[in-house]
């Protein structure tokens, strides 16, 4: 049987179940069935109506009846001993922690794919799933931890410097181009706070540099807010010359120190 999140595919002499969970509307199941966002599409084949009813009841208990799409067929397969009971064990509440997922149960072969928040969760879900199934069952852990929000910010910035007019908090055209790119990716960091940190080199007084770095960070915050980023997720701070990434011994290095950083947090 196959479903969008837990799924089971029809295989001769073996019961198969497959389903997709919380899949974007553009994603498709292996059979080509499109799943609406937040829906669980269950498909594949099971041996009888009773098995189908038990599987669907469990999915509806976990995700809500309105969110489960039934594409399960009956007949043409034979299930291993205690297969339905073991499927119930696999469908534990922990599985709801998987996003954009797919679970395939093909006889005694189980494969789980999707995104989880951290490595500990990735291991724990697979361990819980395999416990109590017996040695005849194998579980393939295809879960992954997506790149963190900080990685996305760093890749977008790509070690480039957001430029300002000399001695001021006015963005240059090149600086605005980079911020336009940042504004395009920030909505992907849903639920995270973004700290904008302004830095300067050590030319001039520390007090003036602290004020300039704060003003530049505030300018970046205002620019991003103007591009539709919710101001409440943005904060701005200036640290002046206190956190250099290069010696302030020549202009090339001082230019590297005059920068804006983006830091993602929960």
Beta pairing partners, 138? 109
pLDDT at 202: 94
The verdict on domain 149-265 having CATH code 3.30.1330.60 is yes
Domains 2-144 and 149-265 in one fold: no
pLDDT at 266: 59
Contacts of 68 (CB under 8 A, 6+ apart): 39, 40, 42, 56, 59, 60
The CATH number fitting domain 2-144, selected from 3.40.1520.20, 3.40.50.300, 3.75.10.10, 3.40.1440.10: 3.40.1520.20
Tell me the pLDDT tens digit for each residue of 18-30: 555 543 333 333 3
pLDDT at 233: 94
pLDDT at 255: 93
pLDDT at 115: 82
Low-confidence ranges of the chain (pLDDT < 50): 1-16, 22-37
Note whether 81 and 114 are within 8 A (CB): no
Domain boundaries, the chain: 2-144, 149-265
pLDDT at 4: 35
What are the φ/ψ torsions at residue 45 (nearest 5 degrees)?
Answer: -135, 145
Nearest to 31 by CA among 21, 41, 40, 23: 41
The radius of gyration of the chain's CA atoms, rounded to the nearest angstrom, is 26
pTM of the prediction? 0.52
Note whether 199 and 213 are within 8 A (CB): yes
Nearest to 91 by CA among 1, 24, 160: 1
């Amino acid at each position: 049987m196959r479903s969008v999140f837990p799924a089971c595919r029809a295989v001769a002499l073996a019961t198969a179940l497959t389903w997709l969970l919380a899949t974007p509307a553009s994603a498709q199941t292996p059979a080509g069935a499109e799943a609406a966002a937040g829906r669980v599409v269950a498909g594949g084949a099971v041996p009888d109506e009773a098995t189908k009813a038990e599987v669907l009841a469990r999915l509806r208990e976990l995700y809500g009846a309105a969110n489960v799409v039934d594409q399960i067929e009956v007949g043409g397969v034979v299930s291993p001993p205690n297969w339905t009971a073991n499927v119930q064990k696999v469908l534990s509440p922990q599985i709801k922690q998987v996003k954009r997922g797919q679970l395939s149960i093909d006889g005694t072969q189980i494969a789980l794919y999707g995104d989880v928040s951290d490595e500990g969760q990735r291991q724990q879900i697979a361990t819980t799933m395999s416990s109590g199934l017996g040695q005849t069952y194998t579980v393939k852990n295809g879960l992954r931890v997506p790149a963190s929000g900080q990685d996305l910010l760093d890749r977008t910035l790509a070690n480039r410097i957001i430029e300002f007019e000399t001695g001021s908090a006015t963005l240059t055209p090149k600086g605005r181009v980079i911020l336009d790119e940042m504004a395009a990716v920030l909505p992907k960091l849903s639920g995270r706070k973004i700290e904008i940190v302004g830095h300067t080199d050590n030319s001039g007084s520390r007090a003036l540099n602290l004020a300039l770095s704060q003003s530049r960070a505030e300018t970046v915050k205002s620019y991003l807010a103007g591009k539709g980023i919710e101001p409440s997720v943005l904060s701005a701070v200036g640290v002046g010359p206190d956190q250099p990434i290069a010696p302030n011994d020549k202009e090339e290095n001082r230019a590297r120190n005059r920068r804006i950083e983006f830091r993602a947090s929960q």
